């Protein structure tokens, strides 16, 4: 495995300052894919390539094989990352002549990682037109905002563990009184008149670009590695796969960091709607196809920490550059079971990709992700996987520089394969 794909990943992350930009960036990579609209009848044909978005922030792409196929081969990642969403009404005047932004948390971030570093804002504007409203992507592509810490001289206990108050400590500084408003800057970047902006959905993003570093270039650090590393790897695996015996589907879901319960999230109807419509358009029975389907839920995993190895499980502790991580949880917050582990590990073996395992330390609850949420709507064989990383939900996360290519290779092999479920627990891998 080489690091070339990690350089491509960093460029991709740079194009994804918000969940909306992620969906758009993935769509741009899907060259020659026909864009479907949920409000129209779908006429699908063998050999056809399709994609659709819902609410601008989730995307599903699929290819109908030209030859025989059975079941869906799905991989899913998420487009969103923890950030601060800018509240409606935006600016807070004062104290003194300062102009700050009013924000609220989106997801569970590590607060202090957002301090003392250049930030900006990105998202979408809803713009009035002659016919109604339409959505425009916007990124204010310059160093615009910063959340300053309090000096050590004014808080001598700052190094003893800070309790940050989001309404006081975490508001970003925009400028001084008399400067332009955030909305005027956003409208200018989007090429629209400020008075035509009917609504906005903007959040903060870290300006610092990603970098490959370490004594031998072992590491990669960047904003939003969770989960853009898996999204990008899944995209590359999806695009490079040859036609197999299943119908390949790439899913990028929004709203994972806030529980997935939105119209476009994994806890909505999106995936079931799309799979149902594919079946209807091609004369297939949804339950039969689901029976032969397999979902790889790809979301980053915790690698063992260099300064705190005691926080990891003694055995199931992924290393950076150690390959794809299969996640396990007895409470089934991760969906992996022995059947899906065996199938995915076999695919990785065929791909020449090393596999590692993650489980939470036995006294820790850990997080959850897309797999079990999707499963409550579309119950299919699912494995939860990821790539090892440090400082998950920091504004600047760290992972292994080789691992993106491992995941892409594993998913290329997966998408090129095909599964036939012969009996309960007996799966033929083509
Ligand atoms: Zn994630």
pLDDT digits (tens, 9 = 90+) for 227-244: 999 999 999 999 999 999
Model pLDDT, residue 245: 95
Distance spanning both ends of the chain, measured CA to CA:
25
Residues that place a CB less than 5 A from ion ligand 1: 226-227, 299
Answer yes or no: is pLDDT of 407 > 70.
Answer: yes
- Distance between Cα 230 and ligand 1 center (Å): 9
- Distance between Cα 375 and ligand 1 center (Å): 17
273 vs 104: CA distance, rounded Å: 32
| Mean pLDDT lowest among 101-105, 129-133, 256-260 | 256-260
- Distance between Cα 99 and ligand 1 center (Å): 33
Q: What does each C-alpha distance from 86 to 29, 91, 118 come to in angstroms?
A: 29, 9, 16
- Distance between Cα 371 and ligand 1 center (Å): 11
Q: Quickly count: other Cβ atoms within 10 Å of residue 426's Cβ.
A: 9
- Distance between Cα 77 and ligand 1 center (Å): 8
Model pLDDT, residue 159: 92
Model pLDDT, residue 372: 85
Model pLDDT, residue 21: 98
- Distance between Cα 220 and ligand 1 center (Å): 17
Model pLDDT, residue 134: 96
pTM for this predicted structure: 0.97
Answer yes or no: is pLDDT of 327 > 90.
Answer: yes
3-state SS string for the chain:
CCCHHHHHHHHHHHCCCCHHHHHHHHHHHCCCCEECCCCCCCCCCCCCEEEEEECCCEEEEEECCCCCCCCEEEEEEECCCCEEEEEEEEEEECCCCEEEEEEEEECCCCHHHHCCCCEEEEEEEEEECCCCEEEEEEECCCCCEECCCCCCCCCCCHHHCCCCCCCCCCCCEEEECCCCCHHHHHHHHHCCCHHHEEEEEEEEEECCCCEEECCCCCEEEECCHHHHHHHHHHHHHHHHCCCCCCEEEEEEEECHHHCCCCCCECCCCHHHHHHHHHHHHHCCCHHHHHHCCEEEEECCEECCCCCCHHHCCCCCCCCCCCCEEEEECCCCCCCCCHHHHHHHHHHHHHHCCCEEEEECCCCCCCCCCHHHHHHCCCCCEEEEEEEEEECCCCCCEEEECCHHHHHHHHHHHHHHCCEEEEECCEEEEC
Q: Is the dihedral of CA 405, 410, 413, 414 positive or negative?
A: negative
Q: Do the beta carbons of residue 21 and residue 205 sit within 8 Å?
A: no
Q: Report the percent of the chain where pLDDT is more than 90.
A: 90
Binned at pLDDT 50, 70 and 90, residue 1 comes out as low
**281-313 b/e with 16+ CB inside 10 Å = b?**
bbebebeebbbbbbbbbbbbbbbbeeeeeeebb
- What is the torsion angle, in degrees rounded to the nearest 10, for the CA atoms of residue 229, residue 231, residue 236 and residue 241? 130
Q: Report the percent of the chain where pLDDT is more than 70.
A: 100
| Average pLDDT score over residue span 126-140 | 97
Answer yes or no: is pLDDT of 171 > 70.
Answer: yes
- Distance between Cα 225 and ligand 1 center (Å): 9
| Average pLDDT score over residue span 75-99 | 95
Q: Residue 385: name the closest of 314, 334, 312, 421 by CA.
A: 334
Answer yes or no: is pLDDT of 425 > 90.
Answer: no
- Distance between Cα 78 and ligand 1 center (Å): 7
């Amino acid at each position: 495995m080489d690091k070339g794909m990690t350089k491509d990943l960093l460029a991709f992350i740079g194009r994804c300052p918000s969940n909306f930009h992620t969906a758009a960036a993935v769509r741009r990579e899907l060259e020659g894919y026909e864009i479907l609209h949920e409000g129209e009848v779908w006429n699908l044909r063998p050999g056809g390539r399709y994609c659709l978005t819902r609410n601008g922030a989730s995307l599903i792409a699929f290819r109908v094989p030209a030859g025989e196929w059975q079941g869906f081969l799905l991989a899913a990642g998420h487009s969103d990352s923890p950030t601060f969403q800018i509240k409606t009404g935006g600016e807070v005047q004062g104290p003194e002549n300062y102009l700050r932004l009013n924000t609220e948390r989106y997801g569970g971030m590590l607060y202090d990682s957002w301090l003392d570093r250049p930030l900006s804002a990105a998202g979408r504007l809803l713009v009035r037109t002659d016919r109604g409203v339409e959505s425009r992507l916007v990124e204010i592509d310059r160093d615009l905002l910063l959340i300053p810490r309090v000096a050590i001289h004014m808080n001598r206990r700052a190094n003893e563990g800070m309790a940050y108050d989001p309404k006081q400590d975490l508001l970003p500084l925009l400028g001084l009184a008399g400067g332009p408003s955030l909305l005027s800057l956003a409208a200018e970047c989007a090429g629209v008149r400020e008075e035509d902006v009917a609504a906005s959905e903007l959040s903060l993003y870290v300006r610092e670009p990603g970098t490959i570093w370490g004594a031998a270039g072992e590491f990669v650090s960047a904003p939003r590695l969770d989960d853009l590393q898996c999204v990008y790897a899944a995209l590359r695996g999806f695009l490079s796969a040859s036609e197999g015996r299943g119908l390949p589907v790439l899913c990028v879901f929004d709203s994972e960091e806030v529980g997935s319960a939105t119209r476009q999230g994994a806890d909505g109807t999106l995936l079931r709607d799309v799979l149902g419509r594919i079946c209807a358009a091609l004369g297939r029975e949804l339950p039969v196809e689901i029976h032969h389907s397999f979902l790889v839920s790809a979301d980053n995993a915790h690698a063992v920490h260099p300064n705190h190895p005691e926080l990891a499980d003694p055995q199931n502790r992924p290393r950076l550059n150690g390959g794809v991580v299969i996640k396990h949880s007895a409470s089934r917050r991760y969906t992996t079971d022995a059947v899906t582990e065996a199938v995915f590990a076999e695919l990785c073996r065929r791909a020449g990709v090393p596999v590692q395992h993650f489980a939470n330390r036995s006294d820790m609850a850990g997080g959850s992700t897309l797999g079990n949420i999707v499963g409550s709507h579309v119950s299919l064989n699912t494995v939860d996987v990821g790539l090892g990383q440090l400082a998950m939900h920091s504004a600047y996360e760290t992972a292994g520089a080789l691992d993106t290519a491992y995941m892409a290779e594993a998913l290329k092999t997966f998408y090129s394969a095909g599964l036939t479920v012969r009996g309960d627990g007996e799966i033929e891998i083509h």
